[in-house]
Amino acid sequence: MPKFSIVIPVYNVEKYIKRTLDSVFNQTYKDFEVIVVNDGCTDKSIEYAKEYNVKIIGEKHIGVSEARNIGEKEAKGEYLLFLDSDDYWDKELLEKINESLINKPDLVRFQVRTVTDKDEIVEYKEETFTGLNGIEAFNKIVNFHFIESIWCYAIKRSYYEHEKFRFKKNMIHEDFGLTPLIVIKAKKINSISYIGYNYYRRTGSIMNNPDYDWTKRKVHDFYEHYKYLKKEIEQVKGNTKVFKSYIANSMLKKICELNKKDYNEYRKRLKKDYVDKDLLTDTIPRKIKKIVVKISPRLYYR
């Protein structure tokens, strides 16, 4: 059994896939397997992927959520990592993660830098910790960047499968709908200081689509994820006020992307769901924020 299974959904990224796979196979730590999920590519992405020692599965376009699910089913490693096919790693990432596994955590978080088309680079140096439970860890991670991005975590596969985690099929913002639960349900989490993930923000990527119909779909799916998370968190024992405030804040902010008519319709839904009641009020600024958001989310978030 390899130490790590790396799942890479691939859809028409022939310009980037070699850089991504090179970053994996240039790792200083070599005990891993790579599972490339062909999400219905019509370019040369899979042809390029065949040049590497990878397992290639799939052929139909099913979307990143289901592609990840299919890839995870094929995984044999002790720990599972998801890598987007236009992003890439620094060469010591797996080695640094492996060094952090001495206490056998369910989850290891590592750090991220963003890289843009214009070669703009921003590094995010977040707090480190060792051996925190899910609630303790989430209460810290909630102050980080890329909180719900699945690609900045290594996950113990036995934990992932025991909890029957799966990405919601045919839905956008799939990370928001799952990663917070993966974090908060874990018994033991480490956060390491190594900045090993390069998140490439390219023009034309799926999340940068400017079409308004796409915006409406993103908000719709985000709302469905919110309702799922709100339901699931009730099964977690302990103080989950920070989690509830986080998902409520995320939902209220998300509807601000809509035009006036659609925004007002969602505002009515969220009022009916009492979403703003979950916002924290443990400090004076948070009390003021809740008052303002209750009047109008746009007044606060914009």
List, for residues 241-274, the tens digit of each pLDDT value: 999 999 999 999 999 999 999 999 999 999 999 9
> What is residue 206's predicted lDDT score, i.e. its pLDDT?
54
Q: How does residue 185 score in pLDDT terms, banded at 50, 70 and 90?
A: very high
Residues, the chain, total? 302
Measured between alpha carbons, how far is 108 from 199 in angstroms, rounded to an integer? Answer: 18
What average pLDDT does range 199-226 have in this prediction?
Answer: 84
> What is residue 9's predicted lDDT score, i.e. its pLDDT?
97
What average pLDDT does range 218-230 have in this prediction?
Answer: 97
H/E stretch holding 81 reads: strand 79-82
The number of beta carbons lying within 10 Å of the beta carbon of residue 289 is 18
pLDDT > 90 fraction of the chain, expressed in percent and rounded? 93
Give the DSSP per-residue string, 188-236.
-EEEEEEEEEEEEE-TT-GGG---HHHHHHHHHHHHHHHHHHHHHGGGS
> What is residue 302's predicted lDDT score, i.e. its pLDDT?
77
Would you state the structure tokens that stand for residue 101, as one six-digit string? 């596994």
> What is residue 207's predicted lDDT score, i.e. its pLDDT?
55
List, for residues 49-106, the tens digit of each pLDDT value: 999 999 999 989 999 999 999 999 999 999 999 999 999 999 999 999 999 999 999 9
> What is residue 117's predicted lDDT score, i.e. its pLDDT?
84
Mean pLDDT of the chain: 95
Give 284: exposed, middle or buried? Use CB within 10 Å, 0-12, 13-18, 19+: exposed
Evaluate whether 270 touches 255 at the Cβ level (below 8 Å). yes
List, for residues 90-144, the tens digit of each pLDDT value: 999 999 999 999 999 999 999 999 999 888 999 999 999 999 999 999 999 999 9
Ordered structural domains, the chain, with CATH = 4-207 (3.90.550.10), 233-301 (no CATH)
What average pLDDT does range 145-174 have in this prediction?
Answer: 96
Measured between alpha carbons, how far is 130 from 92 in angstroms, rounded to an integer? Answer: 19
H/E stretch holding 121 reads: strand 121-124
Beta-ladder partners of 5: 33, 80
The 3-state DSSP class for residue 18 equals helix
pLDDT > 70 fraction of the chain, expressed in percent and rounded? 98
How far separated are the first and last CA of the chain, in Å rounded?
Answer: 50
Would you state the structure tokens that stand for residue 181, as one six-digit string? 């639960």
Is the model's pLDDT at 205 over the cut of 60?
A: no
